[in-house]
């Protein structure tokens, strides 16, 4: 299932996602399923960036027809978003019919976030998209600073949402809830929150008798009016080869561990 976190503050938007997708589902009842493992290694991508600086995070179905969901998102970016120079709202609109073509047995959800011009002003837009429902919802329409998460969210829900207890008479009483003052949060605070939310979820899952469906490196994307950049991004084999200057026909450097000091 994985976990994504999108935090939006005055200075910018932070999008973060882990690297794990579940390996399958078992049906427990008419409306209840359970993930039964995770694909290894933790090299899946759940957060992406288009050339128009629209951030995309995905959760829900981990694959379609046994192909990782990230492969489909890359295809959407390479064949739709980038060639057509789609802005953030156009990206949220276009991603719906693109994924509806594949008839996934599980719902797929997205956060699509970035900046666009509206009546001459630059504004943040954070969209939540449901493929099965064919709909999108603007998350920051009424609350201009805040956070949203998706995927394996039960741990974060218990940490940050209002909880209730019962008094001796059985009446519900609110448990003290110290809300985060998002209006005063900096971009660095938002980075720390997004990263910590995923790492805390992963850590707590280690001690629970449940599938370890959140884990691996956390990718963190920062989007501001002037542009976007990766704060943290796991390295793929292709990027490693590019960094080493690999070209077809040129052998890569191989480290011979049997001869210390002679590499």
Task: Give the domain ranges of the chain.
Answer: 3-243
3-class SS shares of the chain: helix, strand, coil, % to 5: 25, 35, 45
Banded model confidence at residue 39, pLDDT cuts 50, 70, 90? very low
Angle, nearest 10°, between helix axes 69-76 and 88-100? 130
Q: What is the pLDDT of residues 199-239, one digit of tens each?
A: 999 999 999 998 888 999 999 999 999 999 999 998 766 66
Residue whose structure tokens are 């064919």:
134
Q: Please tell me the distance from the alpha carbon of residue 20 to that of residue 214, in angstroms, as a whole number.
A: 6
3-243 fold: 3.60.20
Q: What is the pLDDT of residues 42-98, one digit of tens each?
A: 778 999 999 999 999 999 988 898 888 999 999 999 999 999 999 999 999 999 999
Q: Which pLDDT value is given to residue 263?
A: 46
């Amino acid at each position: 299932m994985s976990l994504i976190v999108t935090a939006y503050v005055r200075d910018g938007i932070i999008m973060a996602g882990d690297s794990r997708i579940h390996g399958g589902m078992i049906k427990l009842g008419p409306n209840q399923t359970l993930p039964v493992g995770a694909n290894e290694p933790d090299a899946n991508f759940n957060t992406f960036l288009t050339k128009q600086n629209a951030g995309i995070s995905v959760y829900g179905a981990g694959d379609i027809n046994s192909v990782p969901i990230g492969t489909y998102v890359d295809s959407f970016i390479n064949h739709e978003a980038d060639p057509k120079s789609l802005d953030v709202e156009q990206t949220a609109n276009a991603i719906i019919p693109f994924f509806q073509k594949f008839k996934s047995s599980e719902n797929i959800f997205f956060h699509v976030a970035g900046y666009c011009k509206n009546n001459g002003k630059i504004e943040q837009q954070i969209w939540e998209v449901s493929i099965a429902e064919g709909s999108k919802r603007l998350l920051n329409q009424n609350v201009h600073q805040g956070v949203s998460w998706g995927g394996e969210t039960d741990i974060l829900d218990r940490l940050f949402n209002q909880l209730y207890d019962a008094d001796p008479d059985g009446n519900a009483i609110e448990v003290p809830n110290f809300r985060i003052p998002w209006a005063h949060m900096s971009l660095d605070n938002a980075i720390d929150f997004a990263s910590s939310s995923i790492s805390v979820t992963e850590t707590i899952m280690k001690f629970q008798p449940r599938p370890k469906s959140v884990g691996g490196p956390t990718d963190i994307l920062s989007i501001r009016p002037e542009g976007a950049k990766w704060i943290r991004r796991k390295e793929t084999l292709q990027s490693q080869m590019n960094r080493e200057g690999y070209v077809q026909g040129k052998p890569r450097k191989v480290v011979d561990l049997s001869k210390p000091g002679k590499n």
